Structure 1
Amino acid sequence: MSRSRFASAGLPALLLSMLLLAVAPSCARDVRAPDAPAARSAQNTATPPGNAVASAHTLATEAGLQVMREGGNAFDAAIATSAVLSVVEPISSGLGGGGFFLLHDARTGRDIFVDARETAPASAQSDRYRKPDGSFDRDRAENGPWSAGIPGLPAAFAHIAETYGALPLSKSLAPAIRIAEEGFPVYARFARGYQSRRAVMERYPGTRAVFLADGQAPKEGDTFRQPDLANTLRLLAERGFDGFYGGDTGAKLVAGVNAEGGEWTAADLSAYKVVEREPIRFRYHDWDVVTAPPPSSGGIAMAQMLQILEPWDLTKLDDAARTHLVVESMRRAFRDRTFYLGDPDFVKIPQRTLLSRDYAAGLRATINPAKATPSDLLSGDPTPLEDEETTHFSIVDAAGNRAAVTQTVNLLFGSGLVAPGTGVLLNNEMDDFALQPGVPNAFGVMGFEANAPKPGKRPLSSMTPTFLVSDDRVAVLGTPGGSRIITMVLLGILGYDAGLDAQSVAALPRYHHQWMPDTISAESDAFSADTAAKLRAMGHTVDLPGDRAAGGRGSSHVWGNLQTIEWNRATGTLTGGSDPRNPVGSAKVEAIAR
């Protein structure tokens, strides 16, 4: 019997240059309603002129649109898109991981946040991640059975289908089942990622059976088939929650983890629950911002940063002055993230204070407009790149329902461990806990007691699916990127606020500061040489790609994979923006005849 496990519970470099850089790919289209006037009243209740999906893979985008053609709504399309991404992007996400689903129900006007974050198994204790000499065991935290939390994504599919969908789960999962069975072409990012993670993945017989099925590592152009994963998806489609967390699949997951030295139990799986939470809401200029609450750190950090910045007209400042203020807001928000945020079911978060405009005003008062504020503590480790290990998609349907979904297995190919017979590649989200207080995780961010592991607890996340709503415009956006997710979404919001369209927002150059290390990291085209020099003169350390002579570590030239949709109610248009950094992504809009 199917059942749902449910508990209630600055703009980067000069604006003109951004517009010139933001070239829309051919897959992004603008659809105008046939009878749309040039402008509409802010109070007009018209619905979008069609359906739109923007995702990191064209097969996932098409699956979402297909399900809506068959009578599904945006929530059914979210399941279909998520499931196909779980098949075609094992590098980024999958059934063995989790995610956050930010949903808007147009009929009721309600915004819903479905928390499908992974949970710690009952065996989780900080001392399990120490070597005999007491030092932190980084390998155990990032690789294999001890790095994996209990997956949440399959429970989200069952819950969303039963509670918000218009179609049975079997319909929404059909595209993913077909693609897992028939296969899909291996793309360059997949093949490259496998090679970088190969030594870990080939430790485990279940992983070798999937990724070395033909006797050699997957290479670009190969057809990659996953029959075991197709069968796992069929059981989920037929039996809902119990088809994954119990029965044959559940038994194989427990056996696969424990055979490699882990300690999972059937009770760990059966106890998993998705949790519906109240989204974070705040106002920025003319926008109502709806975004992710804890255990995401993104919504609170976003509110702090934007409320710190709100009194300044960033568009009237030069590049260096604007970037300086945005970076100082980032610095302060990430400092609070480190000490205060965790799973709200386990720790008391001073959310009311952190979201207060008065608190933001106090933080703003500590900013020197002409000089960098040194971070209190410095880390010697760089912020590692993470643009391929998480994925995001955005959906709007013709009824006005919308979904912003970010999902992940954490690092590249997660733990590297596939439970034999399931095709399920497990996450390594345990590293997102503060496994050792004050020790940075794989993304260079630290935590303390608020984010310490406990059985059933969810690790803190940076995933920040977001809605922006003004009188005339609605935007859905999000991105992968580890700790950089928060600052990339921030820059996307500032881009929309400055009047950019969806594709221009997706293409924006990016920069980041996370309090520790005390460094501005940036993409190659984020700053001119003059702007970088001015920032350094203010006291900032600026880390540009390949720039080691100036004290930088040489950060990656591109980050993230932002997917966004904009519905302009004033003009009756629906447009998608897919990050041009990702050649297999797509944003597609299909008009609906009225």
Structure 2
Amino acid sequence: MSPRPRLVPPTLLVSTIVISLALSGPAFSKTPVATGTGGAAATISEQATQSAITILNKGGNAVDAAVAAAATLGVTDPFSCGIGGGGFMVIYLAKDKRVITIDHRETAPAGFSPTVFTENGKEMDFEKVVASGMSVGVPGTVRGWHEALDRYGSMNFKQVLAPAIKVASDGFRINANFSHLIDVNAGKFQLFPATAALYMKDGKALPAGTLLRNPDMAKAYREIASGGVKVFYEGKIARAIVDAVNKPQTAGGAQARAGNMSMADLANYEARLRQPLKSTYRGYEIYGMPLPSSGGVAVAEALNILEGYDLKSMPREKAEHLYIEASRLAFADRNAYLADPEFVEAPVAGLMSKEYAARRRELIDPNRAGAAHAAAGDPYPFQKDMSYPLRPATAKLLAEGAHTTHLTVSDKEGNVVSYTFTIESWGGSGITVPGYGFILNNEMTDFDFSGPHPNVPEAGKRPRSSMSPTIAFKNGKPAFTIGSPGGSTIITTVLQTIVNYVDLGMRMDQAVDAPRISERNGAATDVEPGFAGSGQGGTLERMGHRWGEQQEIGAANALVFNPDGTVTAVSEGKRHGIGSAMVQKSAH
């Protein structure tokens, strides 16, 4: 398989929310950490936070609040998320004491085949595929929201979409980051007049401070509010999506490859309720997302490897060296074996077994960095079913969009939601659905462009993802949630934050703010600016580690359920201009 370009944008701006159920709306203040006994909220979008509070004030539960906040982020953060994409939701139901997941990842249209992204025996140009109808998967977000509300919410679409409709209609002032994201996507956005008309003026990005209204998105939300999920998948919106994919409206003289999506592809789309992946780590029960997310498996395998070490007793750099090496081995396996479980029999039980982790642990030199591009292990002897014949070679790490939204929610009844959703790259495919104001995803570029490989494109298949919404329990009760955007760095951000919090004894805000180190079995380990020249980085360099630089890695957020009954909401303390967290005190 030929190398693929890595997409590392100059700025990584991602929406991050932490919401807890509240009975009355708090005043907003810009602080990334807050602790109290009532509801909590932490988000980069004041409008999304307010939407959640509005729904909570009307008696909605955590699921209702999560959908309301997510819908508003589709307006205020349209380049990272929206109804043109898909996602994964992990839900803890306090009354039933069980965890379920809703997989509403995008699927490949029925016209897809394993060779869809090859031409004359070669892989197509990655960037040209992104900005085209070919890259668009069948959107799953609206179906996922419907399943969540219908099964576990207390409100309907009309109620939870009302705040987002108001924001889209009234407008909001865009900030410098929003304007910057238009600017870095200018080439892609200029291809599509509906996108350029919304976000550009005279060929340039709208400047910070512009009041941006999106009446077309308000119209889309109103139609969903009145007609329900069928409007999106079988009605006028579905027809508009199909037309936008198959006949992209481009600027004069420009060309974009057409997709091959049908009305039947949308009508037949189904969300999947899947059993979560459960692993243990030092007395915690860790619940993560199953395939087609690779995050739950990879985080569990790396934690199992690390569990064999007494990290608490080690100097920080020694523990971080072991974290890097465990991540390297977990990614070698993740890249080789994992894909949509409806198409591939991945050896998940073997990869997550403690015995297999012990075997992988033997490969780690406690004092020296391992070779780049570690080989995949053989988890099949650790499967209960010994019939699997597959022994794939190590695969290269694919380019994967780092532009996603994560939110985590708890309510007064003890229910918890950890939710990550996306349209893939910044600005997705760049195609705004004419008349409806939302951008379509480019999720199909998460497939391997050529094979043989478990993650090649196939009709109806969901591309492998790294999204890792996580809920941790202790003694049967929620202990903390963690999640992040960031493409394949999601896995390492979640893993490193858990290690910082559980093993290195950091408070959750310290665990989130600590310098990020992301080893994904590549030639170099990605770090943020300034790390390579630091004392911490220098010590690891002397152990053989080599660095590659990313502007920022991830945008983690967390809720911590403290033993005294309080909750601590944590957002980024430095990334993305500092997040905003608040916990509302209970009324007495």
TM-score (norm 1): 0.85
Aligned partners of 1:579, 1:228: CA distance in 2, in Å? Answer: 32
> What pairs up with 1:442-521 in 2 under 5 angstroms?
449-471=453-475, 474-497=479-502, 498-515=504-521, 517-521=522-526
Aligned partners of 2:339, 2:546: CA distance in 1, in Å? Answer: 29
Aligned partners of 1:152, 1:382: CA distance in 2, in Å? Answer: 25
Q: CA deviation at 1:122?
A: 1.3
Which residue matches 1:443? Answer: none
Residue 361 in 1 paired to residue 358 in 2?
Answer: yes
Q: CA deviation at 1:385?
A: 9.3
Structure 2 portions without partners, runs of 5+: 1-28, 249-257, 376-393
Which residue matches 1:560? Answer: 554
Asked whether the 8 Å contact 2:332–2:395 carries over to 1, the reply is no
The code of the aligned residue for 1:88 comes to T
The code of the aligned residue for 2:580 comes to S
Which residue matches 1:345? Answer: 342
> What pairs up with 1:56-135 in 2 under 5 angstroms?
56-132=44-120, 134-135=122-123
> What pairs up with 1:210-249 in 2 under 5 angstroms?
210-212=198-200, 217-249=205-237
Q: CA deviation at 1:381?
A: 10
Secondary structure at the counterpart of residue 191 of structure 2: coil
Q: CA deviation at 1:292?
A: 1.1
> What pairs up with 1:146-545 in 2 under 5 angstroms?
146-212=134-200, 217-260=205-248, 261-376=258-373, 389-437=403-451, 449-471=453-475, 474-497=479-502, 498-515=504-521, 517-524=522-529, 526=531, 529-543=534-548
Asked whether the 8 Å contact 1:52–1:65 carries over to 2, the reply is no
Asked whether the 8 Å contact 1:281–1:290 carries over to 2, the reply is yes
Asked whether the 8 Å contact 1:385–1:556 carries over to 2, the reply is no
Q: What is the CA deviation profile of residues 366-425 of structure 1, one whole-angstrom value per residue up to 9, with x for unaligned ones? A: 1111222213479999997965x1111111111111111111111111010112112120
Q: What is the CA deviation profile of residues 526-572 of structure 1, one whole-angstrom value per residue up to 9, with x for unaligned ones? A: 566444333333332223xxxxxxxxxxx12422111211111x222
Aligned partners of 1:279, 1:104: CA distance in 2, in Å? Answer: 10
Aligned partners of 1:220, 1:241: CA distance in 2, in Å? Answer: 35
Q: 1:584 to 1:265 in 2, by over 3 A?
A: farther
Q: 1:139 to 1:31 in 2, by over 3 A?
A: closer
Aligned partners of 1:473, 1:264: CA distance in 2, in Å? Answer: 42
Aligned partners of 2:579, 2:430: CA distance in 1, in Å? Answer: 24
The code of the aligned residue for 2:406 comes to H
The code of the aligned residue for 1:559 comes to I
Aligned partners of 1:109, 1:324: CA distance in 2, in Å? Answer: 37
Aligned partners of 2:214, 2:396: CA distance in 1, in Å? Answer: 37
The code of the aligned residue for 2:569 comes to G
Secondary structure at the counterpart of residue 362 of structure 1: helix
Aligned partners of 1:578, 1:111: CA distance in 2, in Å? Answer: 24
Structure 1 runs (4+) greater than 6 angstroms displaced: 377-385
The code of the aligned residue for 1:263 comes to N
Q: 1:527 to 1:108 in 2, by over 3 A?
A: farther
Aligned partners of 1:473, 1:400: CA distance in 2, in Å? Answer: 8
Q: What is the CA deviation profile of residues 94-141 of structure 1, one whole-angstrom value per residue up to 9, with x for unaligned ones? A: 110111111111111111111111111112224332344634321343
Asked whether the 8 Å contact 1:576–1:589 carries over to 2, the reply is yes
Q: 1:180 to 1:26 in 2, by over 3 A?
A: closer
Q: What is the CA deviation profile of residues 299-326 of structure 1, one whole-angstrom value per residue up to 9, with x for unaligned ones? A: 1000110010012122322233222111
Which residue matches 1:15? Answer: none
The code of the aligned residue for 1:195 comes to D
Q: 1:572 to 1:403 in 2, by over 3 A?
A: same
Aligned partners of 2:372, 2:550: CA distance in 1, in Å? Answer: 23
Which residue matches 1:38? Answer: none
Asked whether the 8 Å contact 1:56–1:561 carries over to 2, the reply is no
Aligned partners of 2:544, 2:274: CA distance in 1, in Å? Answer: 41
Q: CA deviation at 1:525?
A: 5.1
Q: What is the CA deviation profile of residues 207-251 of structure 1, one whole-angstrom value per residue up to 9, with x for unaligned ones? A: 223223788532211111111111111111122211211211111
Q: CA deviation at 1:204?
A: 1.3
Aligned partners of 2:557, 2:537: CA distance in 1, in Å? Answer: 28
Q: 1:353 to 1:432 in 2, by over 3 A?
A: same
98-107 or 238-247: bigger deviation = 238-247
Secondary structure at the counterpart of residue 371 of structure 2: coil
Secondary structure at the counterpart of residue 344 of structure 2: coil
Aligned partners of 2:44, 2:445: CA distance in 1, in Å? Answer: 24
Q: CA deviation at 1:503?
A: 2.5
Q: State how many pairs are aligned.
A: 530
Which residue matches 1:574? Answer: 567
Q: CA deviation at 1:56?
A: 3.6
Q: What is the CA deviation profile of residues 263-314 of structure 1, one whole-angstrom value per residue up to 9, with x for unaligned ones? A: 1110011111110111111110021111111111011000110010012122
Aligned partners of 2:196, 2:315: CA distance in 1, in Å? Answer: 53
Q: CA deviation at 1:466?
A: 0.5
Aligned partners of 1:436, 1:257: CA distance in 2, in Å? Answer: 22
Task: Report the identity percentage.
Answer: 34
Asked whether the 8 Å contact 2:32–2:578 carries over to 1, the reply is no
Aligned partners of 2:508, 2:367: CA distance in 1, in Å? Answer: 32
Residue 591 in 1 paired to residue 588 in 2?
Answer: no
Q: CA deviation at 1:473?
A: 6.2
Q: CA deviation at 1:143?
A: 1.5
Q: 1:213 to 1:254 in 2, by over 3 A?
A: farther
Aligned partners of 2:547, 2:32: CA distance in 1, in Å? Answer: 34
TM-score (norm 2): 0.86
Q: What is the CA deviation profile of residues 150-201 of structure 1, one whole-angstrom value per residue up to 9, with x for unaligned ones? A: 1111111111111111112211111111111111111122111111111111
Aligned partners of 2:232, 2:463: CA distance in 1, in Å? Answer: 22
Aligned partners of 1:559, 1:530: CA distance in 2, in Å? Answer: 20
315-324 or 347-356: bigger deviation = 315-324
Q: 1:215 to 1:195 in 2, by over 3 A?
A: closer
Q: What is the CA deviation profile of residues 333-367 of structure 1, one whole-angstrom value per residue up to 9, with x for unaligned ones? A: 00001111001111101111011000000000111
